[in-house]
Amino acid sequence: MRVYNFSAGPSMIPDEVMQIAQAEFCDFQNCGSGVMEISHRGALFSNVIKRAEANVRELMHIGDEYAICFVAGGAWMQFGMIPMNLLNGGSADYADTGTWSASAIKEAGRYGTVNVIASSKETKYDRIPNIRHWKPTSGAKYLHITSNNTVYGTQYHELPPAIDGIPMIADMSSDIMSRVVNVNDFGLIYAGLQKNLGPSGMAMVIIRKDLVKDDELPKWVPSMLRYKNYIEKDNMFNTPPTFAVYMLSLVTDWLKRQGGLKVVEDINNAKSEAIYETLNRSDFYTSPVQPDSRSKMNVVFRMPNETLEAKFVKEAEAAGMTGLKGHRSVGGIRASIYNAVPLAGVEKLVDFMNEFERKNR
C-alpha cells in the first residue's frame, strides 16, 4: 500500500527523486563510490552543487545581484545568523505570526533591538495581522516575516509594502518554491530544506549581495556564521552538507520537469481547495484559521472532541495516511500538503474525511 506522508517535516520527497537517489546511493554516476562518499572538491560533486544553484536561480528567476548560500543547521541557525550579519547592535522589525516567528524574535533579541510591529498572538495566531495596521520603525535594519506558519496553518497572501532602505527578510521554510514569488521584493529569503526541497539539516539562503558587509561585523562572529565566507568561496569554505545539496539538485530537477513553479502553484491550489471545500461545507470539521489567512501548505482543523481526533489519526494511519496529528502545542489535525504530496494523496484524504464524518457524527 502506498503511504502518503502528511507530516509537517521532514516530509514527503517525490517518488521519482527517491528512486534516483536509491539507484545512485552506492554508485554515483558509475564512479564506483556512493554519492555520500565522493569528495566535495571533486568534479562530480562540483557539477552537483553548480546544478543545484543553477536550478534554484532558474526556477525562482534570481539575478546575479543575489547570492545563494547552502548553510548547515537548518532555518533555526538562520534565526541567529541573520541578526549576527545584519543587525549589528541596531534595531529590526519583526512580525509575530506563530511559533517560529516568535523563536526568530527571541534569537534576534540577543544581538540588538527587536520591534514587534505586528502580531496575531492575542487571537491565538488565527490570522496574518492586517498589513494596513503595521507601523514600521524608522531606521530599522530590516523587516522579518514568516511567510507560512506550519503550526497554526496561516500564510501571507499579500506582502507588506516595500519601504526604502529597509530590506524585507522572509523565512520561507514551509512554502519555498510552492508558488511564484518575486525575489526582488526581498533582501533575503531563507528556508530549511525538509518540507519542500529535500532532507533536514541544511538551509538555503538567498541574499542580496549589497547586504553583505563583513567588515562591519563584530570580531566575535564566527567564520562559519558569516555570509561573506559562503559567497566568496562558492559554498566551499568548508565541507558543505553534500547529501542535502545532492538531494536539492534532484528535487529542483523534478520541479523543472513538472513545468516550473507556476504549474506547481496551480497544483497546490487545487490540493488545498479540495480540503478547504470539505471543511467549509461541514459542521463536523472546523477551521481555527480566518479564511483570508489559510495556508495552502498546512491545513489545520478540529473535530467535536479530542477523542475523535485521536481516532481520526489512528484510522487514517491504518488506511495509509501518516503524519496527520497536529502540533503538540495546539492539538487537532494538520495535513501538510507540500509539493511532493500528490493530488491523489489529497483526494484519498478528502474521501477519508467524508467517510469518517459519516460514521462518527
Catalytic positions: 100, 171, 195
Residues 6+ apart with CB under 8 A from 151: 8, 98, 99, 100, 125, 298, 327, 329, 330
Cα 203 to Cα 51: distance, rounded to the nearest angstrom: 17
Q: Quick one: which of 246, 273, 179 has its CA closest to 170?
A: 179
| DSSP one-letter code for 64 | T
- Contacts of residues 276-282 at CB distance under 8 Å and 24 or more positions apart, as own/partner, are 278/350, 278/353, 278/354, 282/357
Span between the terminal Cα atoms of the chain, in Å: 28
Q: Facing residues of 76 across strands?
A: none
- Contacts of residues 59-64 at CB distance under 8 Å and 24 or more positions apart, as own/partner, are 59/177, 59/252, 59/255, 59/256, 59/260, 59/261, 60/177, 60/181, 60/183, 60/206, 60/261, 61/183, 62/183, 62/206, 63/183, 63/184
